[in-house]
Amino acid sequence: MTINLKPLPSLSDNYIWVIINTINSTAVIIDPGTATVCVNFLEQQNIKPVAILATHCHWDHVDGIEQLIKKYDIPVYGPATEFIPCLTTPLTGNDSFSIPEIKLDFQVMDLSGHTAGHIGYLTGNMLFTGDTLFSAGCGRLFGGTAKQLHAALQRIKQLPADTTIYCAHEYTLENLRFAQAVEPDNPEIQRWMDEVKDLRGKNLPSLPSTLGNEMRYNPFLRTDRVNIMKAVAQYSGQNIDNSEDCFRYLRLWKDEF
């Protein structure tokens, strides 16, 4: 295995994912909300960064870019429709590109919804979802629509079950508490909760996750299920008979939880 993934904890609950080619000690940095944690890691490990990828414009994902660029002068990939500091390669859904230094090809996925222009990066079976999909949850609507975010999650669901999900926040435990309120009879939720408590107790990340696992307990990937539609209908007082409406009111429920 020549590719290694390292989550750098940043701010209160962000992860900056670093993709490392261990053969030639190069790396790609995803969503650097802070620069210092990246520089310290790269210098300690003697790794040369070759690109920065941004999923969306929020400060906790991009505020470290300018400082990193001053030091390293490397290309910055990001969504074409959002303001990303030092952006050199604007991207939209279905674009693809290669980063030859690290020997990886990336496909860009339109994951709009959390923000209007949010994108995700797929390389091999690794998907970097930013703030679109979390373990046991999904991003809030900060500029995009429920329809967009629902559609983005449906696109993710088309990927193989063994797709590894690298998200940008450690929100898993609080997301699982909500999942349990929505689906109290789903034993997968408690099982994952026990595992995550154990990991967090050892100060380890609960991430990455896999799409196959997420499909078993993440309510936002399960909005086509009758039991979830019933729970959402009961909470919202709405008549829910399709996945998109179920998602819309489930998202509102989580906002109020």
How many CB atoms are closer than 10 A to CB 94?
A: 9
Residues within window 88-117 making contact with Zn ion, judged by CB under 5 A: none
Please, what is the minimum distance in Å from the beta carbon of residue 91 to Zn ion? Answer: 17
Stretch that binds Zn ion, among 125-133, 158-166, 180-188, 241-249 (CB under 5 A): 125-133
Please, what is the minimum distance in Å from the beta carbon of residue 130 to Zn ion? Answer: 7
Q: How many residues bind Zn ion (CB under 5 A)?
A: 2
Task: Specify the residue, 132 or 243, whose C-beta has the smaller distance to Zn ion.
Answer: 132
60 is catalytic: yes
Please, what is the minimum distance in Å from the beta carbon of residue 167 to Zn ion? Answer: 11
Contact residues for 221 (Cβ-Cβ < 8 A; gap 6+): 133, 153, 156, 157, 214, 215
Longest dimension (CA), the chain: 57
Please, what is the minimum distance in Å from the beta carbon of residue 98 to Zn ion? Answer: 27
Task: Specify the residue, 167 or 232, whose C-beta has the smaller distance to Zn ion.
Answer: 167
Stretch that binds Zn ion, among 13-21, 24-32, 50-58, 64-72 (CB under 5 A): 50-58
Please, what is the minimum distance in Å from the beta carbon of residue 194 to Zn ion? Answer: 29
Out of 31, 110, 131, 245, the active site residue is: 131
114 is catalytic: yes
Stretch that binds Zn ion, among 24-32, 46-54, 123-131, 180-188 (CB under 5 A): 123-131
Task: Specify the residue, 19 or 167, whose C-beta has the smaller distance to Zn ion.
Answer: 167
Residues within window 137-196 making contact with Zn ion, judged by CB under 5 A: none
Out of 31, 110, 118, 169, the active site residue is: 169
Q: Which of 58, 169, 251, 254 binds Zn ion (CB under 5 A)?
A: 58
Out of 31, 56, 110, 245, the active site residue is: 56
CA 62/CA 59 separation, integer angstroms: 5
245 is catalytic: no
131 binds Zn ion (CB under 5 A): yes
CA 203/CA 228 separation, integer angstroms: 32
Q: Which residues are catalytic?
A: 56, 58, 60-61, 114, 131, 169
Q: Which residues bind Zn ion (CB under 5 A)?
A: 58, 131
